[in-house]
Amino acid sequence: MRLQFDRGTIVLTDPPKGLDLAEAPGVLWDPRVRAHRAPASKYPALKLWLHQRGAGFQDIRAPTPPVQELWSDVDLRPYQDAALAAWELGHRRGVVALPTGSGKTRLALAAMQRTRLSALCLVPTRVLLDQWLREIGALYRGPVGCYGDGVRRWAPLTIATYESAYRHMDQLGDRFDLVIVDEVHHFGCGLRDEALEMTIAQARLGLTATPSRDAAVRARLTELMGPTVFELTVADLAGGFLASFDAITLYVDLAPDERATYAGLAAVFNAALADFRRTAPDGSWAEFNRCSVRTAEGRRALAAWRQMRRLLAFTCAKRRALASLLDRHRDSRVLVFTADNETAYAIAREHLVMPLTCDIGRSERDNALERFHRGDLRTLVSARVLNEGLDVPDADVAVVVGGALGEREHVQRVGRLLRPGEGKRAVVYELVTRNTIEVGQARRRRQGLVVRRSAQL
């Protein structure tokens, strides 16, 4: 019998008589090619099943390991060591949840170095792709592969964006023994999950600062990566391995003309929402959207919703408050977070501060971060680029002018400030407009910090 990796699956040909492959884990008969086939992720279980039955087979070629001598030692903090030990105890499968700034990438590097396995690291964005390449390059002297940002280069240690992994896993799936997924909470909800099913890697390590609370997502993630094996929160590390911080909410008002516009838009939107609630009391936002696009009234309501958000993104009062905060903290390193790129550019124009958005090229972005680190730039403004994973040096003040993605985004944003420093105490300002939808949104996004913190205390 022969096992062959075929574009993200394992094809089994010429089985010995008497061996019923239909009972093997994950195996189905594929009438298209007249052979048995299993998802590549079932490969370890399938091999075990065949060994238990004493069935001989020609195996697929083992992945090429990296050269161990080219690794430098990777030192870990005590909690990182504990996390790695927990993962090892979990048979090298599982998710480690650690706050932003606590060194998840370093933990991943230690996992690669200590297991000596060929490894594929998946990261959500091109910005993080560069960052991981730099970090691995600092500790591993051999070539490092890269899939993403127009590059397709394989090596026993390879970094890939989620998108590239999804597209190329049919070719990469049999080349690695270990898969590491940064910001693993993006998986488990169906989108791109196949990327993790199309690889034979038995060892799997997921990293996140914001593990999902949805039971279905957690169950799916457990199936794909393994269970959560170690978890610490901001509260566990703040004041020690992470900087302490103050969270300050500044409530601002709408100007009279803004209020009038807002009231008009809210009336249109609320009427449609109330109608929807009457027919579907437990209907979700997605259902409301689907329902609304079918009628002219619904479409007007959605347009009103978008206009409300645009209006609230950068009101006159927020403008004034931001100007005052930037003035007050002119000697600090400040990050300004907005709900959208348009607002980021508006702030950049008004206060002459560097925007970091998806439209700004990679080398310019790196250059800006380097200048921020040196102190040549004191303020950066961003909608989403700074949200997740990116290593922002030395920021100590954040101003959240607006947000679009809720609790998870907020936790990640706060995490940008928590890199420890001697005597450092970070400040997070949130600008919230009174008597608008922002009040509820701000309350919900803060829950991510409050609930998790109180659960630990």
Site residues, another protein (CB under 8 A): 6-9, 26, 28, 30, 32-33, 37, 39, 166, 170, 194, 197-198, 290, 293, 299, 330, 342, 345, 348-354, 359, 361, 364, 367, 371, 376-379
Task: Kindly list the strands in the beta sheet with 425-433, ordered across the sheet, starting from the edge strand earlier in the chain.
Answer: 244-252, 425-433, 397-400, 334-337, 379-382, 354-355
Residue 310 exposed, middle or buried by CB count within 10 Å (0-12, 13-18, 19+): middle
Contact 439, 266 (CB under 8 A): no
Strand ranges (E), 318-422: 334-337, 354-355, 379-382, 397-400
Q: How many helices (H) and strands (E) does the chain have?
A: 16, 18
Smallest distance from the beta carbon of 28 to another protein, in angstroms? 6
- Minimum Å gap between C-beta 434 and another protein is 28
Q: How far is the CB of 6 from another protein (least distance, A)?
A: 6
CA atoms of 348 and 336, how far apart (whole Å) = 10
Nearer to another protein by C-beta: 37 or 416? 37
Residue 277 vs 306, nearer CB to another protein: 306
If you search the block for the tokens 């449609």, which residue do you land on?
272
Task: Please say which residue, 251 or 345, places its beta carbon nearer to another protein.
Answer: 345
Give the whole-angstrom CA distance, residue 409 versus residue 382. 13
**Least spacing, CB of residue 290 vs another protein, in Å:** 8
Nearer to another protein, 56 or 361 (CB): 361
Q: In the complex with another protein, which residue's Cβ is closer, 3 or 74?
A: 3
- Listing from the earlier edge strand, what are the strands of the sheet with 228-231? 151-153, 145-148, 157-161, 119-123, 178-181, 203-208, 93-97, 228-231
Cross-strand partners of 95: 206, 228
Q: Cβ(341)–Cβ(359) under 8 Å?
A: yes
The distance of closest approach from Cβ of residue 351 to another protein in the complex, given in angstroms and rounded to an integer, is 7
Nearest distance from residue 287's CB to another protein, in Å? Answer: 10
Return d(Cα 165, Cα 397) in angstroms, integer.
Answer: 35
Kindly tell me which of 120 and 348 has the beta carbon lying closer to another protein.
Answer: 348
For 110-233, strand residue ranges (E) read 119-123, 145-148, 151-153, 157-161, 178-181, 203-208, 228-231
Least Cβ distance, residue 374 to another protein (angstroms):
10
Q: In this complex, which beta carbon is closest to another protein, that of residue 53 or of residue 330?
A: 330
Nearer to another protein, 138 or 323 (CB): 323
**Shortest distance in whole angstroms from residue 398 CB to another protein:** 18
As a whole number of angstroms, the distance between CA 94 and CA 221 comes to 9
Among 98, 101, 96, 102, which Cα is nearest to 180's? 96
